[in-house]
Chain A
Amino acid sequence: MVFTWLNIAILAALGLGVAFAGAPLAGSVLLAPRASGGDLRMPYECGMPPHGSPWIRFGINYYFYALLFLAFDVDVLYLFPVAVAYTEHAGWIELVKVCIFLAALGLGVLYFWKKGVFTWPKKIS
């Protein structure tokens, strides 16, 4: 086990994020006027009363955006070290290697475009 200050930096950033999210909540608990009863627990306090459970199944199509994001995320994982080492090289051959890597992904993007993954119609059913 090796101690690096990166540990502390990441934990500090995490703490800062928690504080940033928690401070408004704590502030509202401390400062906001208290109220209870009525329609306070409704999703929309001054809207229509909702019908049924809030747990609904929505279209499988949304899942693909998360899936594509994950795949491109994994690509980025490999592009980081290559991008760092890239400047060490002179010549075309490394450019070709990186371009082949990107071409497969580019083909993917083209295919999804053709397939209509990126179009977002007004009405989703």
Chain B
Amino acid sequence: MTLDFLTADAAAKALFVLYFLAILVGGIMAVAAKSLVKAMLGLIKTLFGVSGMYLLMQAPFVALMQLLIYVGAVSVLIFFAIMLTRGEEEGRPAMGKKILAVLAAAAPAARVGGLLLRHAPMPAGTPVEISLQALGQLLLTDYVLAFEAISLVLFVAMAGAVVLGFERRLSK
């Protein structure tokens, strides 16, 4: 039995289809699910698929960080937000609202799609993996100011959230 058809290129294409389906099915699940928690599961599936796309583009670090931050932390944050805000079960949305929602989704899709059709992306060739070391080297030399600013921005974000919303709990 020969395995000629199982080249690396074919494997990459098969993985692309797999990740594409994960993104698509997850997106549909996120939009169509009645339960918000199930919608979030769909979102997580989409994020997984996007991470797979990063892997195919030879960016394994970005892919793993996508898993760590989006699948790991952002989805937990969204879950908290669902648990915090959700009250009783709401009825099905009205028809007018649905039409407005479709319009709101279609407008940016049409705009971006039109742009993509008019300015087709150039074939970039085979992507080359940039090593983690090279990234860190740049962060420590050329982009050191940005590197320090990131830490400051994150501190301001955290502190701002705590200033705005944190209530000291009284211990009894």
Contacts and interface: CB of A to CB of B under 8 A. Distances in A.
A80 B172 contact: no
* Secondary structure call for the A interface: helix
A6 interface: yes
Nearest to A60: B165
Contacts of A62: 80, 84
Interface string A1-44: 11110110010001000000000000000000000000000000
Interface string B64-85: 0100110011101100110111
Contact of A66 (B76, B136, B159): B76
B162 interface: yes
Interface string B140-153: 10001001101110
Interface residues of B, number: 63
Contact of B85 (A57, A121, A124): A57
Contacts, number: 183
* Secondary structure call for the B interface: helix
Given A4-B58, A57-B87, A73 B72 contact: yes
B136 A64 contact: no
A58 to B, nearest CB: 7
Interface in B70-113: 72-74, 76-77, 80-81, 83-89
Interface string B152-170: 1011011101100111111
Interface size class of A (residues with CB under 8 A): 35 or more
A117 B166 contact: yes
A2 B125 CA distance: 10
Interface of A: 1-4, 6-7, 10, 14, 53, 55, 57-64, 66-78, 80-86, 88-89, 94, 97, 100-102, 104-105, 107-108, 111-112, 115-117, 119, 121-125
Given A61-B167, A70-B77, 17 more contacts: A1-B9, A3-B11, A3-B15, A55-B88, A60-B84, A63-B80, A64-B166, A66-B76, A70-B76, A74-B150, A84-B135, A105-B154, A108-B154, A108-B158, A121-B170, A123-B172, A125-B169
